[in-house]
Amino acid sequence: MKSRQTLTTSLAGLMLLAASGYAQSESVIRIGLGADPDMLDPHTARTYYGRFVFSAMCDRLVDIDQNLQIVPGLATDWAYGDEGKTLTLNLRQGVLFHDGETFDANAVKFNIDRALTLPGSLRKSEISSIESVEVTAPYTVVFHLKSPDAALLSQLTDRAGTMLAPQATAKGNVTAHPVCSGPYEFVSRVQQDRIILKRFDKYWNKDAYHFDKVVFLPIPDASVRLANLRAGDLDITEGIAASDIKTVQADSKLALAKVTGLGYMGLTYNIANGSVSPDNPFAKDARVREAFSLALDRDAINQVVFEGQYTPSNQAFSPVSPYHVNLPVAGRDVEKAKALLAAAGIKTPLNVDILVPNNPTSLQVGQVIQAMASEAGFNVNLQMTEFATLLDRQQQGNYQISMSGWSGRADPDGSIYSFASTKGNLNDGRYSNAQIDQWLLDARQNSNSDQRKALYTKVVTQLQTDMPIAYLYFEPRIFGMNKMVTGFQAYPDGLIRLSGVSLTQ
């Protein structure tokens, strides 16, 4: 079956290149993704895979380097004032959007206002400290803040700081045809098949980019992605499976790049979202959520599924983050899990539905969870779901437990606030704790790293009891590529940055 899938995918890749009219002289890079991105509107999108496309297509106000330090993007420099309640950005001049519009301070105001007011925007809680945006000069903009926000610049390195063309966005369909100012512009998309971008010849830094076209190919099965890479139908792919690392290293035509990532995988419990059944035990009693977590052996998951390459987790902050809390991951304790269920008045076996992304690796993790949880009295049903659909169901509250992760952010606020704050836009379980809200707000408003870490330590410790998310593991970012790909550098945020990347012949 695997060889048939590989052949089908390979032929499809060749056919799509021919159908798109690629000339032999054109330079094309083909990038494999683990799933199809959701909508291509940076203000409503939420998938990790969409961030790859945005990275190639859209400039951001600021970016990060390999050491997670903030560096200039469309903003060349910045300064806080008024005791941290204003942030002034000086903007890059000579930048055009893909439709020919000029990038300026008015464009920044349009985008930030849209992110704050658009119905369904998932960026609202990320930049909720912004009270108003003032254009003080053609290329100077001032953010007036409700209170100091130590995390704001970091949020602007991602989708909250992504700049769309105002005129095209106001009159067009961003999801179907986004218009940005990045090195590559949108050409076409076929859902579950491909996204094609082409070089933007008027890009302000075009000499750093060397491809005429970029093709993103969603292929959920990691083994099929690797087979296409080995066959020459992909040039680079994210998400090399841990079990395939040795295969890549042994192939003289391939190269491997690996970096400790910022992201995690977890189980999100539906506590109060949507039409939650009033007798849902996970909503009624945190002891049931803790019991399910205690039924799992995270070390065993790492060894069985990931050959020891991943890191067991109990929090949102990766070991690569200076805000990682040194709190031991609880070991598996089936007897304690049973005792917690009994104390909560639960009769076993308890039927549990878990949404799981429809790829082989996630299925394997789900099956290990299923087997482990059964020993503690949980009868687990795995609901395999396409990833974008899974996120939609999660957001709508149409689930009991959902297995989904987060790719992580350089500033800790970006990995916790939107998920654990009562008003967080990514708090899909609708967890609420006023004390957590206050600690998160205090940490966001505090620029002292030691004081922030103390606050986040309180948050992580309290979440061990409340358990809105059962964190499973931290994910390394593992890339495979043809050795003809040169100039690629892996970043902890896991994105593929095409600046300086080329294909040798």
Q: Are 208 and 329 in a shared domain?
A: no
Q: Are 311 and 375 in a shared domain?
A: yes
- Selection from 243, 393, 266 nearest residue 318 by Cα: 266
CATH number at residue 14: 3.40.190.10
Contact (CB, 8 A) for 49 and 34: yes
How remote is the C-alpha of 53 from its chain's centroid?
A: 12
Q: Is 38 domain-assigned?
A: yes
Structure tokens at 301: 């998951």
Q: Is 407 domain-assigned?
A: yes
Q: Are 80 and 213 in a shared domain?
A: no
Is residue 216 exposed (0-12), middle (13-18) or buried (19+ Cβ within 10 Å)?
buried
- Structural domain ending residue among the three candidates 110, 134, 169: 169
Q: Are 425 and 485 in a shared domain?
A: no
Q: Is 13 domain-assigned?
A: yes
Q: Is 176 domain-assigned?
A: no
Q: What does the alpha-carbon distance between residue 304 and residue 92 come to, in Å, rounded to a whole number?
A: 49
Q: Are 450 and 303 in a shared domain?
A: yes
Instruction: Name the domain count of the chain.
Output: 3
Q: Are 408 and 484 in a shared domain?
A: no
Q: Are 252 and 365 in a shared domain?
A: no
- Structural domain ending residue among the three candidates 106, 134, 169: 169
Q: Are 285 and 420 in a shared domain?
A: yes
Q: Are 441 and 295 in a shared domain?
A: yes
Q: Is 177 domain-assigned?
A: no
Taking only the tens of pLDDT, the chain with its 505 residues reads: 333 344 344 444 444 444 444 445 789 999 999 999 999 999 999 999 999 999 999 999 999 998 889 999 999 999 999 999 999 999 999 999 999 999 999 999 999 999 999 999 999 999 999 999 999 999 999 999 999 999 999 999 999 999 999 999 999 899 999 999 999 999 999 999 999 999 999 999 999 999 999 999 999 999 999 999 999 999 999 999 999 999 999 999 999 999 989 999 999 999 999 877 667 899 989 999 999 999 999 999 999 999 999 999 999 999 999 999 999 999 999 999 999 999 999 999 999 999 999 999 999 999 999 999 999 999 999 999 999 999 999 999 999 999 999 999 999 999 999 999 999 999 999 999 999 999 999 999 999 999 999 999 999 999 999 999 999 999 999 999 999 999 999 999 999 999 999 999 7
**Domain encompassing residue 423:** 264-474
- Bond preceding residue 412 cis, omega within 30 of 0: no
CATH number at residue 419: 3.10.105.10
Q: Are 67 and 213 in a shared domain?
A: no
Q: Are 335 and 414 in a shared domain?
A: yes
